[in-house]
Chain A
Amino acid sequence: MALLSVQDINVYYGAIHAIKGVSFEVEKGEIVTLIGANGAGKSTTLKTISGLLRTKTGSITFQDENIGAVPAHKLIAKGLAQVPEGRAVFLNMTVEENLEMGAFTQPKDKVDDHLQRVYDLFPRLKERQRQIAGTLSGGEQQMLAMGRALMSDPTLMMLDEPSMGLAPILVDQIFDIIKTLHKNGTTILLVEQNAQMALSVADRGYVLETGKIVTSGTGAELLNDESVKKAYLGG
């Protein structure tokens, strides 16, 4: 059984049918990416998995448990963490307080270990641990958002457009970290507009278009797929 299995979900914003019968799976140890243009439904799909939105049909199964009706705040303790769109760090709190919030459901004695690991991975955050998150640069905020999600020691980490608004050199850094996390055993579900980057690190990918999955395959297959090339890779 796959680690995460999404079967036939349909999500609505009022009368707007945003996700139309989407199904996909993430196996343990994989990097899976959902790519697609603005408004294709990538973020909506992630928010539905993390319980911030609800599906009208189908099921979402994580580690053999149906999580379709589990309240959003109970998912992180089950090993499902999300780095939200636009980072959504707590801007008025310090770097370290943000990280502590990421470990909200963790037992007290584990928090320091996790903190140490995050600081090893992001030395920049350690330098700025007492700084208010609102004063960090965009790249640092993205690192903080990722570090915060890692504080829960997740089995599956979902990232919503981590490259958004970042300079190319920072995008490379973020993707290096994603690869490192993957090497360390974290399964990753990556939502990206930057299809080139996402497909180059992903084991498998799904292409979303107006709320439907139109193509899927391994990262390499999709990188060479003519229609994907044309639509998302600039020719």
Chain B
Amino acid sequence: MSFLNHLINGMGLGSVYAIIALGYTMVYGIAKMLNFAHGDIIMVGAYVCFFATSTYGLPPLVGVLLAMLVCTVLGVVIERLAYKPLRQAPSLAVLITAIGMSYFLQNAAQLLWTPNPKIFPQFFATTNPDGTQQTAIPLFDGALNLKYTTIVNVAACVIIMLALTWFTGKTKMGKAMRACSENKAAAQLMGIDVNATISLTFAIGSALAAIAGVLYLSSYQTLVPTTGSMPGIKAFTAAVFGGIGSIPGAFLGGILLGVIEILAGAYISTQLANAIVFAVLIVTLLVRPAGLLGKPVAEKV
């Protein structure tokens, strides 16, 4: 039963990685760049939600929406100011800029909000009649503990995944996004505004990062300016693991990564959990260089 417990917890954590990985993978798919500042958007979203709810006493839902709004604007502004001027530059220049942007956000957060940890509020809890807080549903006489955060994480992830699949598969803008990711010149000839499409992608990815930030901090409640970097890197790993550029791949990669991390921590070693996660990535890439669901398309000449 404890295995099942770990498995479920792993899926909960993996869902958060998947939401972040979706942002990574979409931006990579369209802009062909790795936005290493993506993890730090998570941190900004978490701070915005923290201040909205703890300092200003707003309801959690308003806090989340506010975080999404701020992150969306931030993501689009970062793209305009830092990445757009480098559209024609070699990809290494863009990569280094993204790393710089990541440090910039972390340092700006230190200045604005100090490095002192903030304790993120527990949104997903109910109060028992005796006044104690309950954060999980005990099943099978307490043998299985289903945390509220896990339920929310998995539900959010599935909804986001389905919404994105619908958006890219059925809507005109979503299809335009796929067209841009394949061939920007041809997309322009069709009348698609490539710059606007890239902005839209950053907006969606950053809004998702805000959601992920709130969910992540609801499980790991210590909020510091570097909070976003580890989940950011793990989600990047998840995106590559699943096949970067692929939306189902990001989903699968995220879930698997979360499960592996929790199981490795439970059965092998907590200290080695991260090392095992990355080892799995290396082995996967040796066997399937394009990731689990990534398929290199043969181009006709």
Contact = CB atoms under 8 A, between A and B. Distances in A.
A129 interface: no
Interface string B56-95: 0000000000000000000000000000000000000000
Contact of B301 (A51, A75, A148, A165): A165
Contacts of A82: 189
A50 B191 CA distance: 11
Interface in A85-102: 86, 88-93, 97, 100-102
B186 A88 contact: yes
Contact of A91 (B175, B185, B193, B297): B297
A84 B188 CA distance: 11
A74 B195 CA distance: 13
A104 B190 contact: yes
B175 A101 contact: yes
A165 B299 CA distance: 14
A29 interface: no
A76 interface: yes
A50 B186 CA distance: 11
Given A100-B172, A134-B297, A138-B300, A93 B189 contact: no
B176 interface: yes
A77 B191 CA distance: 7
Given A84-B189, A152-B191, A93 B179 contact: yes
A210 interface: no
Main secondary structure of the interface of B (DSSP, over half): helix
Contacts of A86: 301
How extensive is the interface on chain B, given as a class? 20 to 34
Contacts of A100: 172, 175
A34 to B, nearest CB: 18
A101 B194 CA distance: 13
Interface in B156-204: 172, 175-176, 178-179, 182-183, 185-194
Contacts of B176: 101, 104
A52 B185 contact: yes
Given A91-B297, A92-B178, A73 B194 contact: yes
Nearest to B178: A93
Interface residues of A, number: 33
* From A51, A75, A86, A92, residue with most partner B Cβ within 10 Å: A92
Nearest to A80: B189
B73 to A, nearest CB: 24
A187 interface: no
A91 B187 CA distance: 12
A84 B297 contact: no
A81 B188 CA distance: 11
A45 interface: no
B286 interface: no
B190 A97 contact: no
A216 interface: no
Contacts of A76: 189-191
A105 interface: yes
A100 B175 CA distance: 9
B182 A84 contact: no
A88 B300 contact: no
Interface of A: 50-52, 71-77, 81-82, 84, 86, 88-93, 97, 100-102, 104-105, 134, 138, 141, 148-149, 152, 165
9 cross-chain pairs, A with B, having the tightest CB-CB distances, nearest first: A105-B191, A88-B186, A76-B191, A72-B188, A104-B191, A73-B188, A101-B190, A104-B190, A90-B182
